[in-house]
């Protein structure tokens, strides 16, 4: 059994509970910010064989390019169920969605050309383990594309985030004080570009490559 299996079960449980409310809760920020960021991120994806980790309710589905083969995974069956409903509306025949844990994926080594995830490594219980798995399943030279929120760079806000991280994780399964850029490097990825999308470095776009 995995060392962090109780944390993984907790995360799955929280996203299963949140699934019916997720799109409503995110609606304002989705309209104001996320849609533009998603569109920009997907323009960097070349494929043809692409893995999306943590598809959630399928918010990236409208941005999937037609000329790629996409495999999407998520830990939460209830989030995934919503993604499948949305996928049926978009009629994308090149997409397969599966329930799977990013920390322990069923894919062979060097299988994908790109890996993409949006607002996911704040929730994967062991983020470095998940990022290491992503590195394993992508081919050498393949690229990782992330949108992630993380611990603020301004230390008074970072301390506040650290203080409320535990209770928030308990309530909704998310960590708000992660150091995701550091985690990407710890997992063995080579950073290509890190861009701040908000003040204080709270949301970043991260591009990295699997060393050849």
Ligand X SMILES: C[S@@+](CC[C@H](N)C(=O)[O-])C[C@H]1O[C@@H](n2cnc3c(N)ncnc32)[C@H](O)[C@@H]1O
Binding residues (CB under 6 A) for ligand X: these are 11, 15, 53-56, 59, 73-76, 79, 101-103, 118-120, 123-124, 130
Min dist. Cβ of residue 122 to ligand X (A):
7
Min dist. Cβ of residue 125 to ligand X (A):
6
Q: Which is nearer to ligand X, 54 or 142 (CB)?
A: 54
Q: In a 3-state reduction of DSSP, which class is residue 149?
A: strand
Min dist. Cβ of residue 142 to ligand X (A):
19
Beta-carbon neighbour count of residue 114 at 10 Å?
21
Min dist. Cβ of residue 156 to ligand X (A):
25
Token pair recorded at residue 28:
């304002």
Residues 22, 153, 122: CA angle, nearest 5 degrees: 30
Q: Which is nearer to ligand X, 59 or 205 (CB)?
A: 59
Q: Which is nearer to ligand X, 25 or 191 (CB)?
A: 25
Token pair recorded at residue 72:
């999407």
Token pair recorded at residue 17:
């509970």
Q: Which is nearer to ligand X, 101 or 114 (CB)?
A: 101
Min dist. Cβ of residue 64 to ligand X (A):
13
Q: By beta-carbon distance, which residue lies closest to ligand X?
A: 56
Q: Which is nearer to ligand X, 99 or 190 (CB)?
A: 99
Gap between the Cα atoms of 17 and 2, Å rounded: 23
Beta-carbon neighbour count of residue 21 at 10 Å?
9
Q: Helix/strand/coil (H, E, C) string of 96-128?
A: EEEECCCCCCCCCCCCEEEEEEECCCCCCCCHH
């Amino acid at each position: 059994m995995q060392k962090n299996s109780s944390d993984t079960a907790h995360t799955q449980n929280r996203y299963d509970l949140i699934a019916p409310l997720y799109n409503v809760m995110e609606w304002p920020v989705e309209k104001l910010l996320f849609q533009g960021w998603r569109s920009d991120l997907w323009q960097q994806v070349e494929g043809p064989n692409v893995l999306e980790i943590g598809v959630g309710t399928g918010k990236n589905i409208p941005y999937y390019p037609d000329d790629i083969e996409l495999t999407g995974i998520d830990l939460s069956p209830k989030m995934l169920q919503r993604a499948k409903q949305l996928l049926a509306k978009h009629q994308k025949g090149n997409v397969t969605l599966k329930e799977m844990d990013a920390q322990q994926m069923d894919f062979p080594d060097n299988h994908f050309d790109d890996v993409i995830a949006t607002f996911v490594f704040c929730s994967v219980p062991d983020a470095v383990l998940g990022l290491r798995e992503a590195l394993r399943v992508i081919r050498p030279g393949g690229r990782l594309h992330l949108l992630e929120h993380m611990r603020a760079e301004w230390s008074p806000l970072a301390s506040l985030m650290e203080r409320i991280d535990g209770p928030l994780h308990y309530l909704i399964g998310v960590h708000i004080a992660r150091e995701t850029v550091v985690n990407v490097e710890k997992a063995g990825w080579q950073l290509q570009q890190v861009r701040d999308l908000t003040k204080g470095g709270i949301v970043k776009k991260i591009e990295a490559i699997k060393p050849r």
